[in-house]
Amino acid sequence: MGERKISVEFSGGAELLFGNVKQHDVVLPAREKRWNLGSLFFWLKDNLLHERSDLFIQGNSIRPGILVLVNDTDWELLGQTEYEINNDDRVVFISTLHGG
Amino acid sequence: MGERKISVEFSGGAELLFGNVKQHDVVLPAREKRWNLGSLFFWLKDNLLHERSDLFIQGNSIRPGILVLVNDTDWELLGQTEYEINNDDRVVFISTLHGG
Amino acid sequence: SEKKAEGLSREEIARYGRQLILPEFGVEGQVSLKQSSALVVGAGGLGCPAALYLAAAGIGRLGLVDYDTVELNNLHRQILHSEGTVDVPKVLSASASLIRLNSQVECIPYNVALDSSNALLIIEQYNVVLDATDNVATRYLLNDACVLLGKPLVSGSALRFEGQLTTYNYQGGPCYRCLFPKPPPPETVTNCSDGGVLGAVPGVVGCLQALEAISLLAKKKSLYSQKLLLFDGAAGSFRLINLRPRQKSCNVCGESPSVTQLQDYEQFCGSSASDKTKTIQLL
Amino acid sequence: SEKKAEGLSREEIARYGRQLILPEFGVEGQVSLKQSSALVVGAGGLGCPAALYLAAAGIGRLGLVDYDTVELNNLHRQILHSEGTVDVPKVLSASASLIRLNSQVECIPYNVALDSSNALLIIEQYNVVLDATDNVATRYLLNDACVLLGKPLVSGSALRFEGQLTTYNYQGGPCYRCLFPKPPPPETVTNCSDGGVLGAVPGVVGCLQALEAISLLAKKKSLYSQKLLLFDGAAGSFRLINLRPRQKSCNVCGESPSVTQLQDYEQFCGSSASDKTKTIQLL
Ligand SMILES: [Zn+2]
Ligand SMILES: [Zn+2]
């Protein structure tokens, strides 16, 4: 599968794990296997995460309290970790806020 | 030039001239000449406008107080009436509000 | 519309004239709003503007829940309070401001900490609940109580320069547990005391919570069910997200719920329902 | 940051603590805000929330301009006023509320109709101007005065369920005349008295005007210069538009301006600067 150029964004505090940068242009390298959301998580953990991977990934998925969106749609509507990534996808990780 | 399928939207009160409908799916028919914004205005006047064309078009352009946007960008940045329309363009007419 | 206007007094028609002339609102909307009630939980940065615009618009009954007293450091965003009400219970300070603006609103202050022993008794008396709280435990409590009682929950939150808004448990949309079956690790939760917040950010979100509640009550229409509005106040931008519908597997609103009564939410979340202490020791 | 905190008293550090701990705001932002001034023109649906959040945040000096008195039909959206201040000049009613919240803000009420004879004298005393007015003539007046004096103009508007927000005349962005060289035909202009407005809509826009002014004053950063924010309160959605830059051909901010002093704006627009009468007879 060819490389994938996507935008990865963090908000609600999730950006604090990624150098306090909210928007990243990411190029996923070409490889044999498909690039899906599940593999993106581990690529981000290995390549973009600055600290505390347990605050981003727990087990095989994203930790509780972070919503994953692709192109402004909840990943739950897209097949979750199985969703296959396309060029120009915008993947957003939102840490939910609780303050008032 | 082939047909053009676009979205035409009105807000800020401009929708009142178009049957109080804010969003219209529009198909501009195939024809010899190019479809640009200037020709769209007159097509809208002849085909979609419900009343008072002088409150939409004055002379060869849109009346003062209405902003024209294509894909969330001011038409002034796109060549104004000369901008050539593409499929899936979203053309928005905004009547500026003055209330407070 | 002569007939419909019967539900309003001459003074109400004068007072709400600028809403009444909106065809999409009208006398019917005003009468519905007058016959409705909302409970605002939290009289802080979100609850102040939300309650203010609900009272201004002419809601019939407005409950306010908060156990806290006004502190000086609240005043940069909690705009119903004032220098003269520092140390006064927030719900009393807020009610006094609301009544000055609109004495026709029946304003009911609950100077209590909402918990599993009192939440159902209070919430069942209202048509819609606004979550304007500051901690995870109370958010799960409100969610479960609203699901058990079948009330829509207009949930706002704000921290630093960001705000979020969605409506839970309404017409096939998800509840809080549909999105978040498990609470977040306590160390990932930041409140406004620790993280700070620019006051106008909860101002924007609170006004939108009022708008959504008015839409629900006056027009039976939700703007934010199954949608999440994100506001980035550092960029001035908004984004509207499509969320999943109600989940069959949900522990409280699903097909075979395991949560059929309120629980101990501080234990469930591993964190306190007070915004003043972040984590309670479980061991 | 010990040194920077010198500009703030112990009480101010306590009061604004939740803003001070924001790294992007900090003591420096608070000191800048305290040393700054803003003029809110119009103490109505937009001006009330805008002035409220500016005062809450600790702006140094806040001018308020309005010639009108409070009416009962204002109270559904003009939330600084109250039943007890009906018939009182709006600027006095509003100032009293603002001072209750924050007595440290120097609040200056101008109970006048802004016009070509007084606009420059008033505006030159402020760092930023918020347009919270209700008519086209005053919007052109404010624009030209701000261009002539080099002040940024944070312009909000609201009608029915819609709101708009942009900042004019700032760092290469357009002015009002760059976008609208000619005024609209008077019969296309609707004000809130005629068209109605849902109160929470100007609430949202007014809070955002305060946020933008705070960003301009505390961080020298604009969120809405050369951008237009559209809010559709019937759908709950927002859209951010890219606008043209300053236009060389502009009559007031362009390369060879024809407007070099204030004009008669009622005549230019063919409409009154009062929101109570829509069109003045020119012939
Ligand atoms: Zn659920
Ligand atoms: Zn200009």
Question: Nearest residue on chain D to C227, judged by CA atoms?
Answer: D236
Q: Which whole number is the average pLDDT over B31-56?
A: 92
More confident residue, C124 or A60: C124
Mean pLDDT of chain B, nearest integer: 94
Look at residue C79 and tell me whether its pLDDT is greater than 70.
Answer: yes
Using DSSP's 3-state secondary structure scheme, residue D238 falls into strand
Chain C residues within 8 A of D34 when measuring between CB atoms: none
Q: Among D53, D95, D103, which would you mutate to test the C interface (most chain C Cβ atoms within 10 Å of its Cβ)? A: D53
The ipTM is 0.95
| Strand pairing class (C37-41; C61-65) | parallel
Look at residue C1 and tell me whether its pLDDT is greater than 60.
Answer: no
- pLDDT at position C280 is 40
Q: Which two tokens stand for residue D157?
A: 């508007």
- pLDDT at position C209 is 98
Tell me the percentage of chain D whose pLDDT exceeds 90. 89
- pLDDT at position D283 is 36
Q: Which residues of C248-269 are buried (b: 16+ CB within 10 A; e: fewer)?
A: eebbbbbeeeebeebeebbebb
Q: Which whole number is the average pLDDT over C153-176?
A: 98
Tell me the percentage of chain C whose pLDDT exceeds 90. 89
Q: Does A69 touch chain C if contact means CB atoms closer than 8 Å?
A: yes
Interface of D with B in 102-161 (CB under 8 A): 132-136, 139, 156-160
pTM: 0.96
Inter-chain touch D159–B76, beta carbons under 8 Å: no
Q: Does C254 touch chain A if contact means CB atoms closer than 8 Å?
A: no
Chain D residues within 8 A of B77 when measuring between CB atoms: 242, 244
CA distance D113 to D115: 6
Q: Which two tokens stand for residue D42?
A: 């119009």
Which chains, if any, share at least 3 CB pairs under 8 A with chain B?
D
Task: Report the gap between the CA of B61 and the closest CA in chain D (Å).
Answer: 13
Q: Where are the extended beta strands (E) located within chain B? A: 4-11, 23-28, 57-58, 61-62, 66-70, 73-74, 90-95
Q: Please report where in the chains the tokens 């102040």 appear, as a residue.
A: C48
Look at residue B79 and tell me whether its pLDDT is greater than 60.
Answer: yes
Q: Does A59 touch chain C if contact means CB atoms closer than 8 Å?
A: no
Inter-chain touch D241–B100, beta carbons under 8 Å: no
Alpha helices in chain C (DSSP H): 10-15, 17-20, 26-34, 47-57, 90-101, 119-123, 136-149, 176-179, 192-195, 200-219, 265-269
Q: Which two tokens stand for residue C92?
A: 């009393």
Q: Does A74 touch chain C if contact means CB atoms closer than 8 Å?
A: yes
The pLDDT tens digits for C201-255 are 999 999 999 999 999 999 999 999 999 999 999 999 999 999 999 999 999 999 9
Q: What are residue C60's phi and psi, to 5 degrees?
A: -70, -50
Which chains, if any, share at least 3 CB pairs under 8 A with chain C?
A, D
Q: What angle do CA D14, D20, D24 make, to 5 degrees?
A: 175
Look at residue D3 and tell me whether its pLDDT is greater than 70.
Answer: no
Task: Report the gap between the CA of D191 and the closest CA in chain B (Å).
Answer: 5
Least confident of C89-98, C197-206, D108-117, D193-202: D193-202
Chain C residues within 8 A of D102 when measuring between CB atoms: 75, 83
Chain D residues within 8 A of C211 when measuring between CB atoms: 198, 200-201, 203-204, 233, 236
Task: Report the gap between the CA of D219 and the closest CA in chain B (Å).
Answer: 26
Chain D residues within 8 A of C215 when measuring between CB atoms: 236
- pLDDT at position D213 is 98
In the structure, what pLDDT confidence band is assigned to residue D187 with cuts at 50, 70 and 90? confident
Taking the alpha carbons at both ends of chain A, their separation in whole angstroms is: 45
Q: Does D177 touch chain B if contact means CB atoms closer than 8 Å?
A: no
Interface of C with A in 17-56 (CB under 8 A): 42, 44-47
Q: Does B100 touch chain D if contact means CB atoms closer than 8 Å?
A: yes
The pLDDT tens digits for D119-169 are 999 999 999 999 999 999 999 999 999 999 999 999 999 999 999 999 999
